[in-house]
Structure 1
Amino acid sequence: MCASDSTPKRGPARYIPLLVILCVALVGGFVFRDWLTFETLRQNRETLLAFRDQNFVGLAAGFVAVYVGIVAFSLPGAAVTSMTGGFLFGLIAGTALNVTAATIGACAIFLAARWGLGAYLTARLEASEGRVKRLKEGLRENEISVLFLLRLVPAVPFFVANLLPALVGVKFRNFVLTTALGIIPGAIVYTWIGVGLGEVFDRGGTPDLSLLREPHVLGPILGLCILAALPIVINTLRGRKGF
């Protein structure tokens, strides 16, 4: 069977999910860029805290739903939302809610991309030869390590780490596992900053995000990056030595 026979047909309907995400992301970028901000949180803090005290579960569910939508449609405000989780729910509950929402949203955009363009590209990769085939085999051998690196390296945008794996055909279970675990370090940092937002607002200040560049924050994350990269390096060296 030739490669063209094994490649899924690209019916227009398969691209609807990605087109919807793209349209919502473009519109949302203009509509929500001035809404999901620290100033909005400052203005509504008393209302949110009062509602939390009256209906903790309801606010937590609403928070998760909003965060899932932000991630699934790559809308602006994910960092502010993460800190809001810490401000409203504290470090432990806030981190748990942030990780849960971000993971669900990431899975949603992954599946949308996989169902559409990703299925076609995956089939083309499976039928490829030469250098592309070697790259594909290398990815399969180090899939979990590569996915962890995408999550841990601060320079990789979150939406890229959501879309790229879907387009190259990684296993969904590996994507879910590495997403849920790989975003925990960053989630803790953002949530921790959010826990102190109340004091910042009381002083009339603005959150200091320079903490994200401090050595005691970046150091552990870069250490995790090195650990995630070790299996890739070891497998590469073993392949070159032939054992």
Structure 2
Amino acid sequence: MSNQKDKEKAAKAAGGRKGRMLRWMPLGLLLVLLILGVSQGWHHHLSLSEIIRNKQLLQDWVVNHPVRIAVVYMTIYIVAVAVSFPGASLITIAGGFMFGWLFGGMMTIVSATIGATVLFIAARSSLGATLKERAGPFIGKMASGFRQNAFSYLLFLRLTPVFPFWLVNIAPALFNVSLPTYLMATFIGILPGTFAYTFVGAGLGSVVEAQEALNPGCAAAGTCEIELRALITPEIVWALIALGIVALIPALTNHLRQRLAAQGGAGEPHVNRDNNR
């Protein structure tokens, strides 16, 4: 009898370990891809100087193979976002340079949403499950509050360019945000920033031409003095922050309404039914 129970316990423990391994496998695979990319130095190719140096090659690719290059671009972007590879903003600029701000922006938004969703699902299957197992009452209250206003909070995080994109992809998974809410807030939230960067990319050619006039041959040599900080102006950043604050208005209004309702309920006079009989 004891041997049978021991076998059942062992089988249950083995099943638990297998379940945990399966939960962590998607996130582990993304981590392996990230380590592989960094170890191979792929991130060194994500720079303005590389885009400028290869500008003619990129333009020729688009002219000769528009559909194929568009598919390759979107695939690269999806993988880069899913594994949180550094330099997604530069890929966005390259997309605007190659395809124009409108088509480049549309392809980037779709790709970024897909890549972010892949990471969200992977994180929810591992980190979210682990947090549920170990979460205390405080975390539970945070999760409940986040879910009540998930769309507004996510929209704020997406619009405001001060939070790392990879962190915003993972954080909702910890609070069990629904997939439709995550998709909608992500798609809408990245619209302004994405088009701002693709617009910069679309105008990169004229900037390079101006640099070439001052320093002939700098594009091919990769020595044109163009910095990302000079292209992404403070006005753009503050505009995105302002949009993020506007996105918080529904959540703040809801919070204020709940507080006023609670105070109103607490301030109602207590009626002593025994004295009114």
Q: Same fold (TM over 0.5)?
A: yes
Give the match for residue 85 of structure 1.
95
Equivalent-residue separation in structure 1 for 2:204 and 2:246 (angstroms): 32
Q: 1:143 aligns with which of 141, 144, 150?
A: 150
Equivalent-residue separation in structure 2 for 1:46 and 1:168 (angstroms): 46
Give the match for residue 233 of structure 1.
252
Q: 1:57 aligns with which of 67, 74, 95?
A: 67
More deviation in 62-71 or 133-142? Answer: 133-142
Q: Quick one: which amino acid aligns to residue 37 of structure 1? A: S
TM-fit CA distance, 1:27? 3.3
Q: 2:166 aligns with which of 145, 159, 165?
A: 159
Equivalent-residue separation in structure 1 for 2:234 and 2:143 (angstroms): 36
Paired residues of 1:122 and 1:169 also in contact (CA < 8 A): no
Please tell me the root mean square deviation across aligned C-alpha atoms, in Å: 2.0
TM-fit CA distance, 1:212? 2.6
Q: 1:220 aligns with which of 228, 239, 263?
A: 239
Q: 2:26 aligns with which of 17, 26, 33?
A: 17
Paired residues of 2:156 and 2:244 also in contact (CA < 8 A): yes
Cα 1:122–1:183 shift into 2, 3 Å: farther
Give the match for residue 39 of structure 1.
49
Aligned to 1:76, the other structure's residue is in SS state: coil
More deviation in 108-117 or 186-195? Answer: 108-117
Return the TM-score normalized by structure 1: 0.87
Q: Percent identity?
A: 32
Paired residues of 1:119 and 1:169 also in contact (CA < 8 A): no
Q: 1:95 aligns with which of 105, 117, 124?
A: 105
TM-fit CA distance, 1:201? 2.9
Give the match for residue 28 of structure 1.
37
Paired residues of 1:197 and 1:207 also in contact (CA < 8 A): no
Paired residues of 1:79 and 1:190 also in contact (CA < 8 A): yes
Aligned to 2:84, the other structure's residue is in SS state: coil
Q: Quick one: which amino acid aligns to residue 28 of structure 1? A: G
Equivalent-residue separation in structure 1 for 2:35 and 2:207 (angstroms): 32
Equivalent-residue separation in structure 1 for 2:251 and 2:133 (angstroms): 24
Paired residues of 1:148 and 1:182 also in contact (CA < 8 A): yes
Could you tell me which runs of 5 or more consecutive residues in structure 2 were left unpaired when the two chains were aligned.
1-15, 212-217, 219-223, 263-277
Cα shift readout 1:190-216 (whole Å, capped 9, x = no counterpart) = 10110122223332432443343422x
Aligned to 2:45, the other structure's residue is in SS state: coil
Give the match for residue 3 of structure 1.
none
Tell me if 1:188 matches 2:208: no
Give the match for residue 121 of structure 1.
131
TM-fit CA distance, 1:170? 0.3
> How many residues are matched?
232
Equivalent-residue separation in structure 1 for 2:242 and 2:111 (angstroms): 25
Q: 2:81 aligns with which of 71, 74, 86?
A: 71
Cα 1:213–1:40 shift into 2, 3 Å: closer
Equivalent-residue separation in structure 2 for 1:121 and 1:213 (angstroms): 39
More deviation in 77-86 or 14-23? Answer: 14-23
TM-fit CA distance, 1:124? 5.3
Give the match for residue 229 of structure 2.
209
Equivalent-residue separation in structure 1 for 2:37 and 2:25 (angstroms): 18
Paired residues of 2:121 and 2:173 also in contact (CA < 8 A): yes
Could you tell me which runs of 5 or more consecutive residues in structure 1 were left unpaired when the two chains were aligned.
1-8
Paired residues of 1:86 and 1:194 also in contact (CA < 8 A): yes
Larger radius of gyration: 2
Paired residues of 1:32 and 1:76 also in contact (CA < 8 A): no
Cα 1:122–1:184 shift into 2, 3 Å: farther
